[in-house]
Amino acid sequence: MTAEDIMETDFVCVHPGMSLREAANLMTEHNRLFLPVMDEECGKGGVLLEDDLLRAVMPKYLDSLTNLNFLPDAYELVDADGSVEQLAVKDIIQDRQLYTVQHDAGPAEIAHVMLKKSIAGVGVEKDDKIIGYVTRGTLVRHIYAHTLSQEKKQQS
Amino acid sequence: MNLPAVVAIAIFLVTYILLATEKVHKTKAVLAGAVLMILLRIVSQRTALHGDEAAGIEGVDWNTIMLLIGMMIVVNVTRSTGGFEWLAIKAAKLVHGHPTHIIILLCSITAVLSAILDNVTTVIIIAPVTILIFKRLESDPIPCLISIICASNIGGTATLIGDPPNIIIGSAARLSFLDFLSVDGPVALASMIALVVAIVLFLHARVAVPMAARERIMEFDEGAAITDWALLKRCIVVLVIVLVGYVAHGSLGLEPATIALGGAALILLLHTEGPDEALRHVEWSTIFFFIGLFIMVAGLVKTGVLDMMGNGLTSLTAGNTTAMTMVLLWASGLICGVINNIAYTTMMTPLIKSIAVAAHPDAAAAAWSELYHAPDILPLWWALSMGACLGGNSTIVGSAANVVLANIAEAGGHPITFGRYLKYGVPIAFVTLLISTFWLWLLFLR
């Protein structure tokens, strides 16, 4: 089993110019915690996290406070300056690289990258192009399904 | 001048230019400079890291480093309880949202916290709460934010642990917490009084708000700011023990770093969480900045550059203590408005040691440390301390706390421009340095 066997090829991704609202819709629609950011040619890209979308609506000057429970109207702070509608993915994307594995990488190699980098998915690379995407969920499903079926075979 | 001295000066100048222009992160620049000093055999690694007492080279001042790390741990755990937010909101409610009184109280809290903790942590908490308070008052927070910067630098001047220059000076000159409190303390107190007078005279009319806005401040729930009451109580106990330790360290014969590390150990023991989180928040970048600077300065001392400068300064002022003290105070004040006061103080402490040795050529090397408290040398340490700490008030880049607060203000939609700050900062720096001049004269130079 290699990355190419288990990867999703019609995976959801966002483009740098996409508005934050569109990105947030995609994320919730597909129930994802993150989305890969890729340019039109599917070259190497970045990652947009739910954290980034939340950070974009929260005032930065409050970062150092322990909590905001003492505020009677903390809800007013969400997008207080009304700038979110004008923002695109490229405006808020952190300098976070999209980690990739080669198309022939095995499950152990993919799991190692995910655990080492604390990431929820990796791009699958072939000839310098991203050809697919493996999420943690997909990997867990495949590893366990594979391991379990092996065990069953052995039992029978 | 020999070749190693020329190379040492070249490394030093290039690094300081990088620091001033911020082309490279300050820690990267200084570490590279430090390693170059060792690689080019200007100073050996042993001397750089451990000093060479016989040659009068301090090397890395581990007392300063451990004091900083210890206090950072204590402050980080305390900060996580929400206690500082509680204090700031409680103050605003105590004066029923009266803006001038809020400014005065927040400045006083900032000054006290800066004196016993550190300036940057203090403004990191007080500044966002200030913006929230003034947003609710529908008033401009900038006058209050600028006053808070000044209060943090003034408060930091008061104690050995208040501001990094004082930690470096205290360690180098063997001056105790009580020494600082009795010499720098009154200057800080008088400067705070001057600041309060300036706030009442110049800001009172500008920040006036209607009664209805003031009422809105009372809706804050300061109790909800506390995330962990049990831990906060333990932190307060540890802080009190640490403060008593600092007051007594001189008479107990303990180094200040021992007190700080003791406080850190105690607070970690009393904390239910493991040490990793508290240690992760130690500003390692700042710690390595200090280590790099100490190594670079060891290179300058080793090659005799600082001795040459010390001799030059002594002959320039003809050994006149009053002249030297005043030059040091005002020059430090001026320079620290522009360059990093930690980098400046690290270089100046061995320079004062060189001056001490040059002024007392007959003293044996073993008795050098006694020279640092000689009547003609002692005022120089205090002039350096006051100049380096209070000079930081003059510009928005004068100290780390200023820069941090300016960034918070900008993120909050209230940018403090260089020019706008200058109008407040320069007069405050000038008046506080005048107070220092008078106090130094009264204590040492009459």
Q: How much is the pLDDT for A148?
A: 66
Q: In this prediction, what percent of chain B has a pLDDT beyond 70?
A: 100
Tens of pLDDT, residues A138-155: 899 988 887 667 766 777
Bridge partners of A129, per DSSP, are A126
Is the CB of A108 inside 8 Å of chain B's CB atoms? no
Least confident span in A143-152, B229-238, B318-327: A143-152
How close A22 comes to chain B (CA, Å)? 25
The single residue listed with the structure tokens 């203090």 is B122
Tens of pLDDT, residues B302-319: 998 888 888 888 888 777
Q: Cβ contact (<8 Å) for A72 and B221?
A: yes
Q: How confident is the model at residue A34 (pLDDT cuts 50, 70, 90)?
A: confident
Is the CB of A59 inside 8 Å of chain B's CB atoms? yes
Q: In this prediction, what percent of chain B has a pLDDT beyond 90?
A: 75
Q: Which helix (H) or strand (E) holds A122?
A: strand A121-126
| Mean pLDDT, all residues of chain A | 86
Question: Mean pLDDT across the stretch B104-131?
Answer: 94
Q: How much is the pLDDT for A75?
A: 79
Does residue A44 carry a pLDDT above 70? no
How close A96 comes to chain B (CA, Å)? 20
Q: How much is the pLDDT for B367?
A: 75
Provide CB contacts within 8 A for A55, sequence distance 6+: A92
Q: Which residues of B touch A60 (CB under 8 A)?
A: 411-412
Q: Cβ contact (<8 Å) for B411 and A72?
A: no
Cα–chain-centroid distance for residue B368? 26
Burial (CB count <10 Å: 0-12, 13-18, 19+), residue B90:
middle
Q: How confident is the model at residue A12 (pLDDT cuts 50, 70, 90)?
A: confident
Q: Cβ contact (<8 Å) for A65 and B227?
A: no
Sequence spans of domains, chain A: 3-155
Strands A100-102 and A46-49: unpaired
The arrangement of secondary structure in A3-155, i.e. its CATH architecture, is Roll (3.10)
DSSP letter at B391 equals G
Provide CB contacts within 8 A for B284, sequence distance 6+: none
Distance between CA B120 and CA A153 in Å, rounded? 63
Is the CB of A82 inside 8 Å of chain B's CB atoms? no
Cα–chain-centroid distance for residue B51? 24
- Using DSSP, state whether B188 is helix, strand or coil: helix
For residues B36, B39, B44, B48, the Cα torsion angle rounded to the nearest 10 degrees is 30
Q: How much is the pLDDT for A41?
A: 59
Tens of pLDDT, residues B394-422: 999 888 899 999 999 998 889 999 999 99
Q: How much is the pLDDT for A95?
A: 77
Q: Cβ contact (<8 Å) for A67 and B227?
A: yes
Q: How much is the pLDDT for B55?
A: 80
Q: Cβ contact (<8 Å) for A61 and B221?
A: no
Does residue A42 carry a pLDDT above 70? no
Is the CB of B332 inside 8 Å of chain A's CB atoms? no
Q: Which residues of A touch B408 (CB under 8 A)?
A: 61, 64
- DSSP per residue over B311-377, as a string? HHHHHHTTT-HHHHHHHHHHHHHHHTTTS-HHHHHHHHHHHHHHHHHHH-TTS-GGGHHHHTTSTTT
Distance between CA B260 and CA B381 in Å, rounded? 23
Is the CB of B92 inside 8 Å of chain A's CB atoms? no
Q: How confident is the model at residue A101 (pLDDT cuts 50, 70, 90)?
A: very high
- Using DSSP, state whether A124 is helix, strand or coil: strand
Best to test chain B binding among A68, A69, A81 (most B CBs inside 10 Å): A69
Alpha helices in B95-118 (DSSP H): 99-116
Q: Residue type for B170, please?
A: G
- ipTM, two decimals: 0.76
- By C-alpha distance, the chain A residue nearest B89 is A70
